[in-house]
Amino acid sequence: MSKFELSRRDFLKIAGMLPALPYSALRQRAAAADPWDEARTILGRIKEPSFPARDFDAKRYSSLNEAINACSAAGGGRVVVPAGDFPTGAIRLKSKVNLHLSEGAVLKFSADPKAYLPAVFTRWEGTELMSYSPLIYAFDQQDIAITGPGTLDGQADATHWWDWTRNQAASRRRLVEFGASGTPLAQRVFGEGSFLRPNFIQPYRCRNVYIEGVTIKNSPMWEIHPVLSTNIIVRGVTINSHGPNNDGCNPESCRDVLIERCSFDTGDDCIAIKSGRNNDGRRVAVPVENVIVRDCTMKDGHGGVTIGSEISGGARNIFAERCKMDSPNLNIALRLKTNSVRGGIIEHVYMRDVTIGQVSQAVLGVDFLYEEGDAGQFPPVVRDIEVRNVTSQKSRNALSLRGYAHTPITNVRLRDCKFENVAQADVLENVKDVVLTNVSVNGMVRNETITK
């Protein structure tokens, strides 16, 4: 039986559909091999897409979409945006097209919501619906790219897009209710008047996605949000956007993802790894898996590398290494958040060789009480988390781990770590087999196994 099948059976077990499966064999296998061997295997599969050596000058067309359509019809190539400001509405990427922004090119996206209609099939905070088009959208395409040293400016601010947070509550609640009741997708039509802000870049059900070099700022909501997509590279991207829910990169229900050499300065999580919300995430039932984050810089944000909270489909094989994190406005370096309404299995999460200047809360945080608390019937599972050779110069806590008495957090390992200027003791609630090996906290070395 394959690793995917084991995890899927475990997922269904949490939903009460199958009897319990033994975890001891999985733990023994994990202990016997270096989990980073799997990272090397994943990297061997992730490849850049290729494009025909054919350029289309965006200035020769009435719109970027017309240039993209011409490029696609010719068999693909690059749509080149030269230096200068280019106003645009929603952009629809197509297969074999590389949208290339030259040095000094700035795509200025309209702040008029009507520029993102008609509604498209999308996910909003983990629930499927028809709503405003993302600013750059691709559906069921392959070999697509956004590259170059230019800038994507969403032009969101306190009076455009971001102010919608004051009016979105009713639509957000209705969407969550649709997901909970299993309302057919054809009836989940939002859009004008809904105040559900679009994401910036969303490849949906795509293969071979490459985003490289661009600067992204002033997004209405999440910046880079691939959904149900495979073979994704996000490389050398600079994100500076401090609006509400301005997550940097959110691969959701995706497989084989590489995020490297990027800079994040965000109003929410820098990287947030997701797999659908509540019943709708369990209906789709596609985990996010095989994600590698390396050589990135995290400045402001809620979490540096976050898993959740829309994680009902589960997450596994998440690797983060050689990142630098440092800001009084960065809350948690490695953050896992869920609850018994969200559920999901989060397993095989590994972080190593990460350097932290300061975070305002914890170096490692796992929270089963996020938002809804323990109000559901799908207790989450968090297991096999390893943090190795991570240093921090300042934090409130080293660890903040809050599980449930009926479902504790299990098998968390910290090894060869050094945490200085830790202001408060660890928060440890309902944990089992938390193992510290050569972990220095404020100069005191700890070697212990914690269950409480």
Q: Are 111 and 89 in contact (CB under 8 A)?
A: no
Does 24 or 89 have the greater pLDDT score?
89
- Classify residue 167 by its DSSP letter: T
* Backbone dihedral region for residue 161 (phi beyond 0: left; psi -120 to 50: alpha; all else: beta): left
pLDDT digits (tens, 9 = 90+) for 154-182: 999 999 999 999 999 999 999 999 999 99
Q: What pLDDT does 253 receive? A: 98
The number of distinct structural domains making up the chain is 1
Q: In whole angstroms, give the CA distance from residue 161 to residue 374.
A: 33
Mention every residue, 6+ apart, whose C-beta is less than 8 A from residue 156: 111, 162, 197, 218, 219, 220, 241, 243
Q: What is the mean pLDDT of residues 177-193?
A: 96
Q: Which whole number is the average pLDDT over 341-367?
A: 98
pLDDT value at 22 more than 60: no
Q: What is the pLDDT of residues 274-332, one digit of tens each?
A: 999 999 999 999 999 999 999 999 999 999 999 999 999 999 999 999 999 999 999 99
Note the pLDDT of residue 32.
53
Between the alpha carbon of residue 360 and those of residues 91, 101, 300, 325, the distances in Å are: 38, 36, 10, 11
The secondary element (H helix, E strand) that includes residue 45 is helix 36-45
Instruction: Find the domain containing 192 and state its range.
Output: 3-450
- Decide if pLDDT at 11 tops 90: no
Asked if 109 and 153 count as a contact pair (C-beta separation under 8 A), the reply is: yes
Where b means 16+ CB within 10 Å and e means fewer, 7-20 reads bbebbeebeeeeee
Q: What is the CATH number of the domain that holds 137?
A: 2.160.20.10
- Res. 33 pLDDT band, cuts 50 70 90: confident
Tell me how far apart the alpha carbons of residues 231 and 246 are, in angstroms, rounded to a whole number. 24
Known catalytic residues? 268, 302
